[in-house]
């Protein structure tokens, strides 16, 4: 059974329909990516899963449980963590304080401390800057912090929204390597929304192509990388 399943959801902004009965699934332990042009509905898909943008039709399931009508807080408590587009860290708080915010639902102090040290091992730059205000970090470092803050929740499913957006090429490569490592070593299930289709498909197991609010293609990441239509439209080949 898929740990995350989206079943024919439709989402609107006022009278404008953004998602049109889209369906997708993420198996436990997978990296699944959703690619598409700007305005295709990628971020709306994540917002619908998280309960931030209400779904008018269809359903979202987490490990078989219908979470469609739950509020965002309850969805977070069930184990879905989102790293939003634009990072949205707390700029006035230190790196350590930002990480503490990621663990605000947890009561296991020893586990929180251990996870924070694991995060600092994963991202040595954050360890060096643990007492530094988040707003003074570079864009790449802030993305590392945003991912780390979500990991402090110990999520069952990690949602990533455009993690490479606005980053220098050297940081883009590093961020994708880290995403792959989180999946492989921490066994974290990841649903990745990304405009850099080539990088996303290189690390994903499966992919979906979203076009004008509809799922147009579903296939293994390997097949999508070789798909002529995908190569022309999204890979610049």
pLDDT at 232: 86
| Long-range contacts of 108-113, Cβ-Cβ distance < 8 Å, separation of 24 or more | 111/154, 112/152
Backbone angles phi, psi at 104, to 5 degrees: -65, -20
pLDDT at 59: 97
**Whether pLDDT at 108 is above 80:** yes
- The pLDDT-based confidence of 237 (bands split at 50, 70, 90) is low
**Whether pLDDT at 70 is above 80:** yes
β-bridge partners, 207: 33, 219
Q: Are 65 and 85 in contact (CB under 8 A)?
A: no
Distances (CA, A) of 222 to 30, 34, 197, 206, 219: 14, 14, 12, 8, 8
pLDDT in tens, 9-31: 999 999 999 999 999 999 999 99
Rounded to two decimals, the pTM is 0.91
Q: Rounded to 5, what percent of the chain is helix, strand, coil?
A: 40, 25, 30
């Amino acid at each position: 059974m898929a740990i995350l399943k989206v079943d024919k959801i439709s989402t609107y902004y006022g009278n404008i329909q953004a998602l049109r009965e889209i369906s997708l699934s993420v198996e436990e332990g997978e990296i699944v990516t959703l690619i598409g042009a700007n305005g295709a509905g990628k971020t709306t898909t994540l917002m619908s899963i998280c309960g931030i943008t209400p779904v008018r039709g269809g359903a979202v399931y987490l490990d078989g449980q219908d979470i469609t009508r739950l509020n965002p807080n309850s969805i977070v408590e069930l184990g879905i963590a989102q790293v939003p587009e634009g990072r949205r860290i707390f700029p006035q708080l230190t790196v350590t304080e930002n990480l503490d915010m990621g663990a605000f639902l947890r009561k296991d102090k020893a586990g929180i401390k251990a996870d924070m040290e694991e995060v600092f091992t994963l991202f040595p730059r954050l360890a060096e800057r643990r007492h530094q205000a988040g707003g003074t970090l570079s864009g790449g470092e802030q993305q590392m912090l945003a991912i780390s803050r979500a990991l402090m929740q110990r999520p069952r499913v990690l949602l990533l929204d455009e993690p490479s957006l606005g980053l220098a090429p050297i940081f883009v490569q590093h961020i994708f390597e880290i995403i792959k490592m989180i999946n492989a070593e921490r066994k974290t299930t990841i649903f990745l929304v990304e405009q850099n289709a080539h990088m996303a498909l290189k690390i994903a197991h499966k992919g979906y192509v979203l076009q004008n609010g509809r799922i147009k293609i579903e296939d293994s990441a390997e097949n999508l990388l070789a798909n002529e239509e995908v190569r022309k439209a999204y890979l610049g080949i």
